[in-house]
Amino acid sequence: MRRYRAIAAALVALASAVASGLAGAPSEAATSAAGRSTPAAAPPPVMCASVAEVQAWPLARQVGHMVMVGVPILQSARSTAAVAQFGLAGILVRGTPGPDTAKRIAAIRAAGQPGTPPIVAVDEEGGRVQHLKRAVGAVPSAAVMGATLSPEQVRALAAKHARGMRALGFTMDLGPVVDLANGDGNGIGDRAWSPDPTVTSRFALAFARGLMDGGIVPVLKHFPGHGHASGDSHDVGATTPSIDVLRQSDLLPFRDGSTVAGIGVMVAHLQVPGLDTLPASLSPAAVNGVLRTELHHRGLVITDSLSMWPIRFHFPAPRAAELALKAGNDILLFDDEPDVAAIISALVNLVTAEPELQAQVTAANLRILDAVGRPTCATDIAALNLPATLPATTLPATTVPSPSG
């Protein structure tokens, strides 16, 4: 009997221990939940950009958001302060980047207004015009790429380079060049792909698509075509052939590029006989006329630097900005520490005196926001003044293949 009582006691103790263990152990559901990693929160949806949003900004912010300033990377603190104070469209980084470039660019982008991060651009064509080869590797010149690579290889090379640029914080490349090759007497030389507009379009658009594959906004330059200009527009008042001649040659790559969404165009300080007495960058006939209306370019339009000699010799920076805005440019680029406050004040006074320019300012801001990842709201597409259909053009046809993607 004593033996049975001992066995019973042992069983009771065992049952108690088991029960205690079960009570202290996590349930199967809890164990399973603990073993699973918590799903990452979904990123917030991208908020589209609307006319109402832009027009709710003070006018000084609207026109300030159309100004881009070129600054040496080692002086990036100035860039950060200017972006924070004026809400600039962006910064063009000059000079060779150092090991802290990504940190400097992150500070510039963080200084932007909520929902409007600044563009961070660089001249990165390849060959003799590239600032980032120490940081992300060298790219051959357009002339070398056009002679040694296929368009598919050019696109892959550009995509790889763009990913390196994006990792540093850059968002825009002022390239590729689509000027036609015509010797080296006007600053272009091996920056051009070919003297043939069809070949130029094929390779340059492959490069541009590669940049977009890697998250970089490409900007074709130098409209309306620098290849046959009489000199280098950085230094002198260079003149192109007549507008009728350009329509048969130099304008064709820009026309072809305008069929690709997401591509910008830079307008050069070139005199165009038969078009206007003003240089193309300041000419409504060139920008709103030929580029927007005739070629139907729907993306960003950026001036070449309005601090360059052919412009500043004739116009102080505030007046150059006024003319560039009236011509139809979206981004007004300056270098050499411009008086940004004076430029913005002049633009505010201009739009106040000529309220018909407000629609153009709104459209420019929407295009700039689109370039930083905030597409225009579907209900406000009409504000971009885009034609419903493309009318016939006077330019001859070219045979440019449309790569997939």
Active site residue 222: no
Residue, of 334 and 396, whose pLDDT is higher: 334
Kindly give the residue spans of alpha helices, DSSP state H, lying in 27-126. Answer: 28-35, 51-56, 59-64, 76-86, 101-110
Q: What's the chain's average pLDDT?
A: 86
**Residue 16 located in a structural domain:** no
**Residue 71 located in a structural domain:** yes
Long-range contacts, 379-384 (Cβ 8 Å, 24+): 379/50, 380/49, 380/50, 380/51, 383/51, 383/359, 384/298
187 pLDDT tier (thresholds 50, 70, 90): confident
**Residue 41 located in a structural domain:** no
Domain tally, the chain:
1
Long-range contacts, 368-371 (Cβ 8 Å, 24+): 368/65, 368/66, 368/89, 368/119, 368/300, 368/330, 368/331, 369/49, 369/54, 369/116, 370/49, 371/119, 371/171, 371/172, 371/217, 371/264, 371/300
**Residue 58 located in a structural domain:** no
Express as a percent the part of the chain with pLDDT over 70. Answer: 83
Q: What is the per-residue burial (b if ≥16 Cβ within 10 Å, else e) of 2-12?
A: eeeeeeeeeee
Residue 284 DSSP SS3: coil
Name the catalytic one among 123, 131, 234, 296.
234
Q: Name the token pair of 109.
A: 């982008």
Query: Which residues is 333 bridged to in the sheet?
Result: 68
Q: The sheet that has 332-334: what strands, in order across it?
A: 301-303, 264-267, 217-223, 172-173, 119-122, 90-94, 67-72, 332-334
Least confident of 107-116, 127-136, 150-159, 389-398: 389-398
Task: Give me the CATH number covering residue 183.
Answer: 3.20.20.300
pLDDT at 45: 66
How far is residue 258's CA from residue 325's CA, in Å, rounded to a whole number?
20
pLDDT at 44: 59
Question: Is residue 363 predicted with pLDDT exceeding 90?
Answer: yes
Structural domain boundaries enclosing 289: 64-384
Active site residue 304: yes
Least confident of 40-49, 188-197, 238-247, 302-311: 40-49
Question: Is residue 117 predicted with pLDDT exceeding 50?
Answer: yes
Amino acid in position 292: R
Question: Is residue 372 predicted with pLDDT exceeding 50?
Answer: yes
pLDDT at 75: 81
**Residue 318 located in a structural domain:** yes
H or E segment and range at residue 91? strand 90-94
Amino acid in position 246: L
Best CA proximity match to 124, nearest among 137, 113, 143? 137
Best CA proximity match to 275, nearest among 260, 287, 285, 284? 285
pLDDT at 52: 94
Segment 242-266 mean pLDDT: 96
Burial of 15 (0-12, 13-18, 19+ CB in 10 A): exposed
Q: What is the per-residue burial (b if ≥16 Cβ within 10 Å, else e) of 335-366?
A: beebebeebbebbbebbeeeeebeebbbbbbb
Least confident of 37-41, 208-212, 221-225: 37-41
HSE-up of 310 (CA within 13 Å, CB side)?
21
97 pLDDT tier (thresholds 50, 70, 90): confident
402 pLDDT tier (thresholds 50, 70, 90): very low
Name the catalytic one among 304, 330, 370, 380.
304
**Residue 57 located in a structural domain:** no
pLDDT at 24: 41
3-state helix, strand, coil in the chain (%, to 5): 50, 10, 40
How far is residue 301's CA from residue 12's CA, in Å, rounded to a whole number?
86
How far is residue 297's CA from residue 209's CA, in Å, rounded to a whole number?
16
What single-letter DSSP state applies at residue 230?
A: S
39-76 pLDDT, tens digit per residue, is 555 555 678 999 999 999 999 999 999 999 998 887 88
**Residue 402 located in a structural domain:** no
179 pLDDT tier (thresholds 50, 70, 90): very high
Cα→Cα distances 144→75, 155, 327, 346, 386, Å: 33, 14, 35, 44, 37
Backbone angles phi, psi at 202, to 5 degrees: -60, -50
336-359 pLDDT, tens digit per residue, is 778 999 999 999 999 999 999 999
pLDDT at 360: 95
CB proximity list for 307: less than 8 A, separation 6 or greater: 70, 317, 334, 335, 336, 338
**Residue 29 located in a structural domain:** no
Query: Which residues is 271 bridged to in the sheet?
Result: 239
